[in-house]
Amino acid sequence: MLKTLIAVADHGTFSAAADAVFVTHAAVSQQMRALEEDWQVQIFNRSTRTPEFTPLGRALLARAREVVRAYDDIVPSVIGDDGLRGEFTLGVVPTTLTALTPFASAILKARFPDLHVGLFPGLTTHLINEVERNSIDAALVSRPAILPKNLVWHQIASERLILIASERITSADPVQILRDNPFIRFSRDAVVGSVIEGWLQANHIAVTDSMELAGLEAIHAMVLADLGVSIIPEPCVQVPNIRPLRRVALATSGGPERHLGLVHRKDSTKSRVMEEVLRALVRAVESGSFSPEAIAKALA
């Protein structure tokens, strides 16, 4: 029932909570009424269309999260496997899905076959909210301007931002290229998109927007088709067979960067598995390229 209570808070409605915990809408309603009767308190304000927590309900929700976390840690804390088995949920920004994330996942799978890492792609802000709500264990994200106080940040890599263009463009001046060609934006909903926009404004560069995309694969394809130029993070782990695009540095030194890191709650009970996830990510970055040979070398 406590997990159902948390699901209502995380998903917003009884129906969505029912889907999340695999019961019927009626069962969720019955469980919540049973909790209120057992505790002799009003958890929800039922005068609204969607369930709203009362102040007391919010306080009980916070304690419920603590109880559920402690319950989930009972077996690992007793048998001493430190959580290196079972399910570990990891949110990841989409830009890491082509190399860094699969590389690190392969290392974890080889070293800890009883540990299943479930991956949940999303943008940084959303993933950080999910970690805060304890919906996922950790997230590989771009460092935001402000990190919530109850989260821990582990730096993984810094990726410089570069200009990409089709091979038709011969200029080596990034400002000229940006002013003379349509601009394909990296989504401003992403942290890296905001970093790019900040750099353009700080350098007084006016661009002609043609489209705004969230995925590196889509941006690469559009630039390869000579539909515009773009600014993207240079991946810290390179993929073989990179598309034939021109890559132009935005500055000779001190150019803009995005910082990738692992975030998790300070009160996480999975500190041991967190260490191994962090170690696998760092090992992938140290390798620098993604291939079966690179994975084999990292595991040697």
Instruction: Sort strands 257-265 and 151-165 into parallel, antiparallel or unpaired.
Output: antiparallel
> Quick check: is 77 in a domain?
no
Q: How many domains does the chain have?
A: 3
Instruction: Give a yes or no: residue 78 inside a domain.
Output: no
pLDDT digits (tens, 9 = 90+) for 99-140: 999 999 999 999 999 889 999 999 999 999 999 888 889 999
**CA separation (Å) from 253 to 28, 142, 197, 206, 234?**
57, 21, 19, 22, 15
Say whether both 131 and 246 belong to one domain. no
Instruction: Let me know if residue 118 belongs to a domain.
Output: yes
Of the candidate ranges 27-36, 65-74, 108-117, 198-207, the one whose mean pLDDT is the lowest: 65-74
Q: Tell me: do 89 and 238 sit in the same domain.
A: no
Q: What is the pLDDT of residue 211?
A: 95
Report if residue 274 sits inside a domain.
yes
The residue that leads in pLDDT, 208 or 244, is: 208
Q: Is the pLDDT score of 20 beyond 80?
A: yes
Residues 148 and 263 in one domain: yes
88 with 166, same domain? no
Mark whether 168 and 211 lie in a shared domain. yes
Task: Look up the CATH number of the domain holding residue 36.
Answer: 1.10.10.10
**Within this chain, do residues 250 and 263 fall inside the same structural domain, yes or no?**
no
Digit-coded pLDDT (tens) for 136-190: 899 999 999 899 999 999 999 999 999 999 999 999 999 999 999 999 999 989 9
DSSP 174-230: HHHHHHHSEEEEE-TTSHHHHHHHHHHHHTT---EEEEEES-HHHHHHHHHTTS-EE
pLDDT exceeding 90 applies to what percent of the chain? 73
Confidence of residue 241 (pLDDT cuts 50, 70, 90): low
Number of helical (H) and strand (E) elements in the chain, helices listed first:
12, 11
Mean per-residue pLDDT, 220-232: 95
CB 93 within 8 A of CB 141: yes
What is the domain extent for residue 198?
Answer: 159-258
Same domain, 247 and 118: no
Instruction: Examine residue 99 and state whether it is found in any structural domain, yes or no.
Output: yes
CATH number, residue 291: 3.40.190.10
- Average model confidence (pLDDT) across the chain: 90
Per-residue pLDDT reduced to its tens digit, 244-254: 899 999 987 77
Residue 210's closest CA among 186, 234, 242?
186
266 & 145 share domain: yes
CA separation for the pair 256, 174 (Å, rounded): 13
Residue 78 pLDDT: 57
Rounded Cα distance between 296 and 63, Å, is 44
Structure tokens at 118: 């479930």
pLDDT digits (tens, 9 = 90+) for 58-102: 999 988 988 887 787 776 655 555 667 788 899 999 999 989 999
Tell me, what DSSP letter sits at residue 257? Answer: E
